[in-house]
Amino acid sequence: MDKPIYLDNAATTPTDPAVVEAMLPWFSAGYGNPSAIYSLGAQAKEAVTLARETVAGTLNAQPREIYFTAGGTEADNWALIAAAQAYAGKGRHIITSAVEHHAVLHTCQYLEKQGFSVTYVGVDDQGVVRLDELRAALRPDTILISVMFANNEIGTLQPIAQIGQIAREAGVLFHTDAVQAYGHLPIDVKTLGVDLLSASGHKLRGPKGVGFLYVREGVKLPSFLHGGAQERARRAGTENVPGVVGLGEAAKLAQASMARRAEAERELRDYLIGRVEREIPYCRLNGHRTQRLPGNVNFSFRFIEGESMLILLDQAGICASSGSACTSSSLDPSHVLLAIGLPHEIAHGSLRLTLSAENTREELDYVVDRLKEIVQRLRQMSPLYEDFCREQERS
């Protein structure tokens, strides 16, 4: 294989050439500042307005409910910190889940240091948030529930409509981190009962460093960045015009091709899962078997260390991940895998393969063939595996 097989689409996606094309004029001839009075500025402003309308349309939202940010992390930080500030008079309790991305978890830890209390609701062995636990966690001083739409490591989809209903009945704000789901699955903020939603351009073949926060009309969040009237004075700073245009284009393309891509990805995903389960012993599929992102595959292989697997896969021209891209440099096992009940040693032997509709069965066949060799090779070097085999022979 001359070019790498890219199976890390949850970390980031290649930018669509049509998106690059749409962005280019805004780096060159269309360089005006959208706040300027003259037409060069007005054109840039119009481009941002169009992108806002496109994004709003994909969610059944109003354009004025969309605030562009510098990505998913910023949108998550803004949603949580601003909601906490705005509603502190009502209460200082927040509910989230144990499997959130660190953009939410670390923000919650920050808020705990500011005097808020946070309940981290557990998940079942497939990664689905326990709704009974979530209901039981509600208190008179609860102001916010934040539960992700789809998990970035194991792909499990959360019962967002039900959580929206619970939040509404309790009179509590509901934020969802939809960074992995936006552009991949249909999302209607109105029917789901979502008040705040975060998304990021680079997960849907858009540019990196741009995303948005949806803020339902009527939710009064304080400004996140101060110093200008941009984004209705709630997120100051000269707009990232090329990035916003790219995000708008990516959102439009993703919406148009969503059903076709999801079907192709599910087919590839289930083919890959099937081959691995049939051909590699002592593996475990992590996450929900059906309620999962169309392109997500996550396995744990016993007696193996995930990092070594990634290095050998890379040598075979395969880009994969052991979990979240943000924690891949850490040696701690994934908090998501621990939350679904995996013991440390099994959580360490995990592999995430996230597909796109552009992948082919031929590529997946190559991946499974290499993976079989790699798993076998690493197990042969594992004293734990040796002990296990001896034990098997004895019994």
Query: Residues with catalytic annotation?
Result: 326
211 binds ligand PLP (CB under 6 A): yes
List 103, 111, 244, 351, residue binding ligand PLP (CB under 6 A): 103
* Using rule CB under 6 A, residue 323 touches ligand PLP: no
Residues in binding contact with ligand PLP, number by CB under 6 A: 14
**Nearest distance, CB of residue 237 and ligand PLP, angstroms:** 16
Residue 10 or 283 with smaller CB distance to ligand PLP: 10
339 binds ligand PLP (CB under 6 A): no
- Choose the stretch contacting ligand PLP; rule: CB under 6 A; options: 173-181, 188-196, 247-255, 283-291: 173-181
Which residue number, 58 or 156, has a Cβ lying nearer to ligand PLP? 156
Residue of the chain from 119, 200, 296, 322 that contacts ligand PLP (CB under 6 A): 200
Q: Which stretch binds ligand PLP (CB under 6 A): 174-182, 281-289, 340-348, 377-385?
A: 174-182
Out of 111, 179, 192, 215, name the contact with ligand PLP by CB under 6 A.
179
Out of 30, 32, 71, 164, point to the residue binding ligand PLP (CB under 6 A): 71
Q: Figure out which of the listed residues 9, 180, 240, 296 binds ligand PLP, where binding follows CB under 6 A.
A: 180
Residue 287 interacting with ligand PLP (CB under 6 A): no
Residue with Cβ nearer ligand PLP (310 or 374) = 310
For ligand PLP, which residue of 58, 73, 107, 359 counts as binding (CB under 6 A)?
73
Q: Which of 8, 16, 177, 363 forms a contact with ligand PLP (CB under 6 A)? A: 177
What is the C-alpha separation between 123 and 315, in angstroms, rounded? 35
217's CB contacts (< 8 A; 6+ apart) are 62, 64, 65
**C-beta of 180: minimal distance to ligand PLP in Å?**
5
Closest approach of ligand PLP to the CB of residue 307, in Å? 19
- The tally of CA atoms less than 13 A away on the side-chain side of residue 317 is 10
- Give 202 or 370: the residue with its C-beta nearer to ligand PLP: 202
Q: How far is the CB of 102 from ligand PLP (least distance, A)?
A: 8
State the residues that interact with ligand PLP by CB under 6 A: 71-73, 76, 101, 103, 148, 152, 177, 179-180, 200, 211, 325
